[in-house]
Every structure is written in C-alpha cells, then in structure tokens.
Chains A and B, each alone.
Chain A
C-alpha cells in the first residue's frame, strides 16, 4: 500500500508546486458558467431553470482539462517504465492516479460548484442535493476519463481525441446528475437519481480500472 500512497502524494505535490491543473480547471469552470448568464440574459427564472444543467456541463468539461496529462507525462519522461516494473499492480497504480486526479480537480469543483449554483439562483433544496450528486458523480467522471487518458497515450492530437472519446461516456452521469437536482427543485424525491449515480460509480470503478490498465499495457509494448 505504501506504493499507492507514494504515487498519490507525488502527483498531488507536483501539481501543487507547479500551480497545476486544479486551479486551471476551476478557472475554466468559473468562466464557462459565467458565459451562460451573458448568453441567455440575467433573468432569474431562466437561470434557475437551466442552472443545474449549466454547472454540470461546465464541470464535465473542466474535468477533461487535466486528463490529458494523467498518464502522458509519465510516459514521456520514462517514469511509466519504472512504475510498470514496480511491485504495485498496474490496477492499483491507475487507482492512485485517479485518486490524485480527483483530489486535484474533482474536489475543488465540488467546493466551487455550490457557489456557482447559488449565483444561478438554485434554491436551497436543490443545492444540498446538487452537492451530493456532484460528490457521487465526479469520481465516476475520473474513472471514465482515465480510460480515455490511457487509450490516447502517445496518440496524435491526444487531447482533442480524448474529449471525443470521453464525452459520450459522460452522458449518463450528466442526465442523472441534473435529474437529481430537478427532482429536488420540483419537490420530488431525488433518491432514485442519487442511487443511479451511486450505481454508475460502482460500475465505472471496475470498468475504468480494467480498461485503463489494459490500454496502458498496450502502450508500454
């Protein structure tokens, strides 16, 4: 297990020292959300109606930013050769990388999202459910994103390609993430949506680990 935490620690420390991706993702998130009131107008009724969707879509896009570098830099500087012949199974390496990525982008998004939602006039019931939905949804996004990141290691135009591959896979998280908030706002139970989000998390965890590990093994050859 030491190896697992060493990788998490290394990635977080490096990002911290380099003023890393986390901050960029948050800035991107803020700016994207700000564009919507400028586009559709400041009327609070409309903003409250589309608020959850806008924040979710912006969050999906923000998570994409840091994915490209998730495995790519380690491949470029030869780190991955050494990681591959370390005693830690590759699945654990991927899990550590996902955890570091979530700490660096998912967690800051989770903290910023309620503020943005409030700026878009989301009411209090919606806000609480929104935070829970984000907490369940963002790890799924990371596991799905890891697949795209691993598949595009060493690819031409890897960053753009990654976006094309990953965004369609994000659709269920988006639908149920927004659905939970809408249910709460309209006075229905958000529980079914949250359960589905939890189920998606349980599904994307093994799928993400398997697919990323297989893809990384291919990339090593």
Chain B
C-alpha cells in the first residue's frame, strides 16, 4: 500500500502537536494583542494608527515565510516525491494567501491616515501585491486539472519558478520605485523601533506562526482523510462492477 504509507504516522504525530500549537496560538495572541493595544505607546508622529503595524507587519512576514515553506515543500515533492509534501504545499497556499491579503488590507487602512490615500504604489506594497498574484496563480493551477495529483505536481513547479523569480521581481520593483518615487513620503517603518513596540510585534509574529502550524495540520489531516475516502469509494465502485460482470 505504497500510496498512503506515510500519512498514518503523520496523523499520529499531528494529533500530538495540534492541541499544543492551538493553545500556544491563543495564549500568544491574547498576550500580544493586550501588549499591542493597551501597553505599547502611540507613535509621536502617527498616533494610535501605528497599532495597525502589530497585525500588518507580522502578516507580511508570514506571507513571505509561508511562501518559503510552500516552495520548500514543492522542492521536496519534486525531488523525493514524498506524498505528504504535495499536500503540505497545497494546504499552505490558501493560508499564505490569507496572510498576504491581511497585509494588503491593513496596509491600505494604515496608508489612509498617513498618506491620505488608500493605495500608494510603494515598493513594499506593490511587491506584496505581486506575491498575492503568485498565491492566486498557485491555487488556480492546483485546482485546474481533472486529475488532482497532476495539478499538485504542476503547482510545485510553479512554486519553485516563483521562488526563483520573487527576489528578481522584488528587486526590480524596488528599483522601479526609487526611480519614480516622490521623495516626500513618510515610510511605514522607522529604522529604530523601541522595545515596548518590538515585544508585542514579535509576540504577534510568533502567534501567527503557531497559527499557521495549527491550520496546516488541520488542513493536511482533512486532505488525507478525504483522499482515503476517495480510494475507498473508488474500490467499492470497482468491486461492485466486478460482482456485476461475474
């Protein structure tokens, strides 16, 4: 039964990890939000709106981190053909897309008071927008084939091509931005950040990361179970056909 040899072991390990990662996520999120919304000071320039940063920046980090995981899983899937790697990549994409979407919308909301515009063609925002397109393309390709495994394998190649290309695109967008940018815009991130702001930022980032782990495990588990049921159903159909023909 080489087709689902590993998943059972994964399901056992996942059952051990999941309660812990979920609990840690909730704890960190509560602590992080408390520090971010209550304890940390307002910015002398941006006022209370700086608090958006505690969601925006970790989400942007996660957008990149999840894409790296996606590309890593895709590489493993392509090179070693590990059956779980494809599923992990497939399960990661929507989570990463959500983080990217959160980073984009919070960026727009934050931009409104600071830049007095919902959208500014800032290099960072533009790069994140392009990353969002990559996630969307990956998800669309995964689901574009009648044979699900073909979609997963094609998406793995796309993820790797994207992984090589994203630095190039990021670099060219930065370059484009410095060429066209009017000089007077306030940048979102100051160079130095005070410890009272750094702590909630890092705690929020950690909670986002454990959230990713928890949701990934959940998605992987349901994917594996769905696959087992498919196999079961298919075998049943065939057996009944055979019984019919005999």
User: Do A171 and B144 touch across chains, with their CB atoms under 8 A apart?
Assistant: no
User: Do A176 and B157 touch across chains, with their CB atoms under 8 A apart?
Assistant: no
Measured between beta carbons, the chain A residues less than 8 angstroms from B151 are 155
Q: Does B118 contact A (CB under 8 A)?
A: no
Measured between beta carbons, the chain A residues less than 8 angstroms from B145 are 154-156
Q: A176 CA to B8 CA in the complex, in Å?
A: 50
Q: A96 CA to B156 CA in the complex, in Å?
A: 25
User: Do A161 and B169 touch across chains, with their CB atoms under 8 A apart?
Assistant: no
User: Do B165 and A218 touch across chains, with their CB atoms under 8 A apart?
Assistant: no
Beta-carbon nearest neighbor of B165 in chain A:
A169
User: Do A165 and B158 touch across chains, with their CB atoms under 8 A apart?
Assistant: yes
Measured between beta carbons, the chain B residues less than 8 angstroms from A164 are 133, 136-137, 140
Q: A182 CA to B150 CA in the complex, in Å?
A: 43
Beta-carbon nearest neighbor of A171 in chain B:
B169
User: Do B161 and A169 touch across chains, with their CB atoms under 8 A apart?
Assistant: yes
The interface bits of chain B over 172-202 (1 if a CB of A lies within 8 angstroms of the residue's CB, else 0) are 1101100100000000000000000000000
**By CB atoms of chain A within 10 A, which of B78, B160, B161 has the most?**
B161
Q: Does A152 contact B (CB under 8 A)?
A: yes
Q: Does B229 contact A (CB under 8 A)?
A: no
Q: Does A151 contact B (CB under 8 A)?
A: yes
User: Do B168 and A207 touch across chains, with their CB atoms under 8 A apart?
Assistant: no
The interface bits of chain A over 194-221 (1 if a CB of B lies within 8 angstroms of the residue's CB, else 0) are 0010001001000100010011001101
Q: Does B120 contact A (CB under 8 A)?
A: no
Q: Does A17 contact B (CB under 8 A)?
A: no
Give the contacts of A132-183 with B (CB-CB under 8 A). Answer: 147, 151-152, 154-158, 161, 164-165, 167-169, 171-172, 175-176, 179
User: Do A168 and B158 touch across chains, with their CB atoms under 8 A apart?
Assistant: no
Q: Does B141 contact A (CB under 8 A)?
A: yes
Q: Does more than half of chain A's interface fall in helix, strand or loop, or is it mixed?
A: helix
Q: Does more than half of chain B's interface fall in helix, strand or loop, or is it mixed?
A: helix
Partner of A218, one of B144, B150, B168, B175: B150
**By CB atoms of chain B within 10 A, which of A164, A167, A176, A219 has the most?**
A164
User: Do B154 and A151 touch across chains, with their CB atoms under 8 A apart?
Assistant: yes
User: Do A155 and B175 touch across chains, with their CB atoms under 8 A apart?
Assistant: no
Q: Does B110 contact A (CB under 8 A)?
A: no
User: Do A168 and B134 touch across chains, with their CB atoms under 8 A apart?
Assistant: yes
Measured between beta carbons, the chain A residues less than 8 angstroms from B30 are none
The interface bits of chain B over 117-156 (1 if a CB of A lies within 8 angstroms of the residue's CB, else 0) are 0000000000000100110110011001110001101100
Which residues does A use to contact B, with CB under 8 Å? 147, 151-152, 154-158, 161, 164-165, 167-169, 171-172, 175-176, 179, 196, 200, 203, 207, 211, 214-215, 218-219, 221
* 22 contacts across the A-B interface (CB closer than 8 A): A147-B161, A151-B154, A152-B141, A154-B145, A155-B141, A156-B144, A161-B137, A164-B136, A165-B141, A169-B165, A171-B172, A172-B169, A176-B172, A179-B175, A179-B176, A179-B179, A196-B172, A207-B161, A207-B164, A211-B157, A214-B78, A214-B157
New A-B pairs, 10, CB < 8 Å, besides A155-B144, A161-B141, A179-B176: A147-B157, A147-B161, A151-B154, A151-B157, A164-B137, A168-B134, A169-B162, A207-B161, A218-B154, A221-B150
Which residues does B use to contact A, with CB under 8 Å? 78, 130, 133-134, 136-137, 140-141, 144-146, 150-151, 153-154, 157-158, 160-162, 164-165, 168-169, 172-173, 175-176, 179
7 nearest CB pairs, A to B: A155-B144, A172-B172, A168-B133, A175-B172, A165-B137, A175-B176, A151-B154
